[in-house]
Amino acid sequence: MKGSFKLLAWTGIFCLIFALGACGSANNKSSASAWDKIKEKGVLNVGTSGTLYGSSFHAEGSNKLTGYDVEVVREIAKRLGLKVKFKEMGIDAMLPALQSGKIDLAANDIEPTKEREKKFAFSDPYKYSYGVAIVRKKDHSGIEKLEDLKGKRAGGEASTVYSQIAKKFGAEIVTYGNATNDVYLKDVALGRTDVILNDYYLCKMGLSAFPNLPLEIHPNIRYNLGHSAIAMDKDNTELQKQVNKVLGEMKKDGTLAKLGKQFYGADVSKKPNLKIREVKLD
């Protein structure tokens, strides 16, 4: 009986050690297998808005999704030997979708803030720009500097860096969800809102699409040189490595420059040489 008990005890201990070892191996494997699962499926699921002109939008008269971010991701997927499946959603839904595993990447002119970097991994930069303000031509919406935002109504999505800056200077944020550019712009023109804070190139392209609106980019407001990067799950380091490898190739062979000129009229993969105010966010 004692001998049987000892045998059972040692067998139990061995099984426990084996199980713990297996769990350790499984945990190590799971972080690496996220990329393996993508390769096995052969599909990269990517979140994007489809409503951000220049970055992610539907070409006029067509249902085709295109834009700088969209085409950058298409090329990344192609070079990785993967198909790409875009899932359209607002930025406020995009980052939670990464955490839940509904998408593998989020590409929508996303800036990696310190707060976001605590929760997500980001690619190397593929677009550099800075913030500007769209205002009414006739009176600049009563805004000549960022401090004049106090009491104004700023159109934007709640979680963006630009809305955070507007709020910092005392503006009321008017949110729309996943609305198209024309909704934001027409509201400023009609006086429903006063200003849109956003990326220079996106603002430039947005206004060019609606040249009859009495709006302009404020000539004296430039702030926060920043960059856009592709967001992904924080633990998917192998996917991050693969994406960065391809982005490096695309920058070196001129693909990023070509796409930048196609959608923004400039090579946005290089930092602009301008005097730009830095606004710190808490």
Q: Is residue 249 part of a domain?
A: yes
In terms of residue numbers, what domain contains 152? 128-225
Q: Do 112 and 233 reside in the same domain of the chain? A: yes
Instruction: Read off the pLDDT of residues 212-229 as tens digits, 9 standing for 90 and up.
Output: 999 999 999 999 999 999
Q: Do 236 and 220 reside in the same domain of the chain? A: no
pLDDT at 282: 72
Q: Do 122 and 237 reside in the same domain of the chain? A: yes
Q: Is residue 22 part of a domain?
A: no
Q: Is residue 211 part of a domain?
A: yes
Least confident range of 5-14, 145-154, 270-279: 5-14
* The pLDDT of residue 27 is above 50: no
Count of structural domains within the chain: 2
Q: Do 136 and 196 reside in the same domain of the chain? A: yes
Q: Do 236 and 121 reside in the same domain of the chain? A: yes
Instruction: Read off the pLDDT of residues 100-148 as tens digits, 9 standing for 90 and up.
Output: 999 999 999 999 988 999 999 999 999 999 999 999 999 999 999 999 9
Q: Do 113 and 244 reside in the same domain of the chain? A: yes
Mean of pLDDT over the chain: 89
* The pLDDT of residue 261 is above 80: yes
Q: Is residue 31 part of a domain?
A: no
User: What single string gives the DSSP state of each residue in 192-253?
Assistant: SS-BEEEEHHHHHHHHHH-TTSSEEE-TT--EEEEEE--EEETT-HHHHHHHHHHHHHHHHT
Residues 169 and 171: their CA atoms lie apart, in Å, by 6
Q: Is residue 247 part of a domain?
A: yes
Q: Do 134 and 253 reside in the same domain of the chain? A: no
Q: Is residue 26 part of a domain?
A: no
pLDDT at 32: 54
Of 225, 241, 276, the domain-final residue: 225
Q: Do 116 and 233 reside in the same domain of the chain? A: yes
Q: Do 235 and 114 reside in the same domain of the chain? A: yes
Pure H helices in the chain: 2-41, 68-79, 91-100, 114-117, 161-168, 181-189, 200-209, 237-252, 255-264
The letter for the amino acid at 85 is K
Q: Give percent above pLDDT 90 in the chain.
A: 77
Residues linked to residue 155 through DSSP beta bridges, in sequence order = 174
Identify the CATH number of the domain in which residue 244 sits. 3.40.190.10
**Looking at per-residue confidence, does 59 or 163 come out higher?**
163
Q: Do 116 and 132 reside in the same domain of the chain? A: no
Phi, psi of 161 (to 5 degrees): -60, -35
Q: Do 207 and 95 reside in the same domain of the chain? A: no
Least confident range of 34-38, 77-81, 148-152: 34-38
The letter for the amino acid at 88 is E
Q: Is residue 271 part of a domain?
A: no
The model's pTM: 0.79
Q: Do 141 and 212 reside in the same domain of the chain? A: yes
Q: Is residue 5 part of a domain?
A: no
* The pLDDT of residue 54 is above 80: yes
